Structure 1
Amino acid sequence: MDQIQAMRIFVRVVEAGTFTRAADSLDLPKGTVTKQIQALEARLRVKLLNRTTRRVTVTPDGAAYFERAARLINDFDDLEGSMANAQASPKGRLRIDVGTTVASHVIIPALSRFCDQYPDILVDLGASDRLVDLIGDNVDCVIRGGELADQSLVARRIGNLPWVTVASPAYLKRYGTPTHPDELEKKHLVIGFFAGSTRRMYPHEFVKGDERVDVTGPYRVSVNDGNAHMAAVLAGFGVTQTLTFTAAPKLESGELVEVLADWAPPPLPVHVVYPPNRHLSPKVRAFVDWAADLFANNPHLQRR
């Protein structure tokens, strides 16, 4: 039995919560993962995991073993990553998760430059607006907008995205142009945006000096995806706030019109985030630095 490999598999099973998810993230057959855990338990002569049909939980002995094993695996990976030429030639599979709008408008159009610079890195890019579990989903890093709710994560702020309030010409022709945010709740429609996991509706925030107005409705259409959000405003379903870099081409072409220009919410902070219990490997460091440069050099991705 490869003890390091068995230890790594055990740590991944605990993090993922199931044998199936652990096997998928390690690119191993589920049977191999099961046999390695059984062999490890036989070697240690203790039961490490309690298995049910839906989930795996650690025993008290397993919890104690996990704490030390995770630290040892982390140190082992740090040692390998610090070897000669590791920084010059980062390599391996890099798992990233990015919001749909940032993925399609920012990361993917520029990603070829990253791939050309680091040809030995294989990029697995997940594009979603849901909050992923970095540990459970075995994701190396994410790019997310908004203030961080989980203070245990390591984060680097890479941008401050300004907002713009827009509507389609067809909508404005039908409903008129609002001159104050209060009018949106009285004689207009907005496009709602809700969190996919909680279904909580995000308010439209309007700030002018010391005055602030929050608007959540009325609406006929609400979405939970950035691309769907843009499609809804282009289709004339209402007034909404969107990030300036996504709206700029539509404003230039006349497909969208800016309204309430004097009322702007605070810019959206953007962070690249990774788990604290994983070393910043060369491949992750390369992507973090590349993403920071990408945002810093784009005027639409910084505070106006």
Structure 2
Amino acid sequence: MDQLSAMRVFVRVVETGNFTRAATALDMPKTTVTNMVQSLEAHLRTTLLNRTTRRVMVTTDGALYYERAIQILSEIEELDGSMSNSQTQPSGRLRVEMAGAFADLIVIPNLCDFYKRYPQIQLDIGVGDRLVDYIAENVDCALRGGTPTDQSLIARKVGELKLRTFAAPFYIENFGEPTNPRELEEKHFSVGYLNATLGRVLSMEFCRGDEVVEINPRYVVSVNDARSYLNAMIAGIGVGQSLGFMVNDAVERGELVEIMTDWDCETLPLYIVYPQTRHLSNKVRVFVDWLAKLVQGLKDGDQALPPMRKAG
């Protein structure tokens, strides 16, 4: 048995959900796919898949083997890529993590351009602001807002966007419009942003000339997702800080109003992070470079980034 080939076949069966689709994807006879998985199970002395007439279900051992298998196959792919000619087109699966706002408003609208440049790369995008185990979850890299604190990660700064302060007309009608940041600690409410890594609600920073004010806002609710944070602001739950490209539509619809415009907010640095133990393969490198140029197309977060010209 060619264990490496059998491992690849098993992974494809899990990902496609049955032997027939896996055989089609691998351009193999279905009997060959079935026999290779059976040989792998015999070699490992365990059942990896439970078969029924309609579907294939992964066993507990199968799920564990799948997670390790895709990591090993990815490392082999990266090793092969590092030894090949530098002109070879990057290829393979790329697992990335990012907040929903970055995915929806920056990355996904421009993926046609990325695919046009690198048609052999398959992107798996995990969406959300959460703690990630990069090794266990086989994550290649992540786009994160704010300065990384995890010393086990390599961080590359790809941009810096300016935060601005907003409130809903409903909030202003009911509570008035704050004119000084200190009012957010004394008599106004904000929407809290809960940082999953730090485990606390983030402070807000304002500056005007030489005066710098950092406040811990009073809040009724805190969230750890940028889209939920925006929705809470629109609902009138409190004042919030956001990036221009995220709130443009809401401002145009009259759902949010920019306030305290004589005070500047802090800037939000954007980083791409990846594990120190992971070789920076060609596919990761080209994605990082592409994303860096994409983010730099945003001017202080004042406007949404227009999609690049689509392939074809």
**TM tier, shorter chain?**
0.7 to 0.9
- Tell me the residue number matched to 1:12: none
Give the SS at the match of 1:299: coil
1:5-154 equivalences under 5 Å are 77-84=78-85, 87-154=87-154
Amino acid at match of 1:77: E
Equivalents in 2 of 1:253, 1:191: separation in Å? 20
Give the SS at the match of 1:110: helix
Q: Is the 8 A contact 2:189 2:217 kept in 1?
A: no
- Tell me the residue number matched to 1:216: 217
Equivalents in 2 of 1:279, 1:256: separation in Å? 44
Equivalents in 2 of 1:31, 1:184: separation in Å? 64
Change (3 A) 1:117 1:186: same
Amino acid at match of 1:139: V
Q: Is the 8 A contact 1:295 1:301 kept in 2?
A: no
Deviation at 1:196, TM superposition (A): 3.9
Deviation at 1:206, TM superposition (A): 2.2
Deviation at 1:132, TM superposition (A): 1.0
Q: Is the 8 A contact 1:143 1:271 kept in 2?
A: yes
Question: Which runs of 5 or more residues in structure 2 are unaligned?
Answer: 18-36, 47-60, 65-70, 303-312
Give the SS at the match of 1:147: coil
Amino acid at match of 1:214: I
Amino acid at match of 1:206: F
Q: Is the 8 A contact 2:185 2:215 kept in 1?
A: no
- Tell me the residue number matched to 1:19: none
Equivalents in 2 of 1:178, 1:232: separation in Å? 18
Cα distance per residue 1:277-303 (max 9 Å; x no partner): 22221211121111011112222459x
- Tell me the residue number matched to 2:264: 264
1:165-180 equivalences under 5 Å are 165-180=165-180
- Tell me the residue number matched to 1:156: 156
Give the SS at the match of 1:289: helix
Amino acid at match of 1:147: T
Higher mean displacement: 180-189 or 197-206 = 197-206
Change (3 A) 1:263 1:37: farther
Deviation at 1:187, TM superposition (A): 2.1
Matched, 1:182 2:155: no
Q: Is the 8 A contact 1:158 1:292 kept in 2?
A: yes
Deviation at 1:38, TM superposition (A): 7.8
Q: Give the total of aligned pairs.
A: 261
Change (3 A) 1:265 1:34: farther
Equivalents in 2 of 1:197, 1:36: separation in Å? 41
Equivalents in 1 of 2:14, 2:276: separation in Å? 22
- Tell me the residue number matched to 1:50: none
Give the SS at the match of 1:278: coil
Deviation at 1:215, TM superposition (A): 2.4
Deviation at 1:228, TM superposition (A): 0.7
- Tell me the residue number matched to 2:291: 291
Deviation at 1:24, TM superposition (A): 7.6
Equivalents in 2 of 1:118, 1:254: separation in Å? 40
Deviation at 1:231, TM superposition (A): 0.7
Amino acid at match of 1:170: F
Normalised TM-score (structure 1): 0.72
Give the SS at the match of 1:255: coil
Change (3 A) 1:109 1:279: same
Deviation at 1:188, TM superposition (A): 1.4
- Tell me the residue number matched to 1:241: 241
RMSD of aligned residue pairs (Cα, Å): 3.6
Amino acid at match of 2:150: D
Change (3 A) 1:155 1:38: farther
Amino acid at match of 2:220: R
State percent identity of aligned pairs: 39
Equivalents in 2 of 1:110, 1:230: separation in Å? 23
Change (3 A) 1:116 1:36: farther
Deviation at 1:163, TM superposition (A): 0.3
Higher mean displacement: 280-289 or 256-265 = 256-265
- Tell me the residue number matched to 1:14: none
Q: Is the 8 A contact 2:163 2:301 kept in 1?
A: no
Q: Is the 8 A contact 1:87 1:282 kept in 2?
A: no
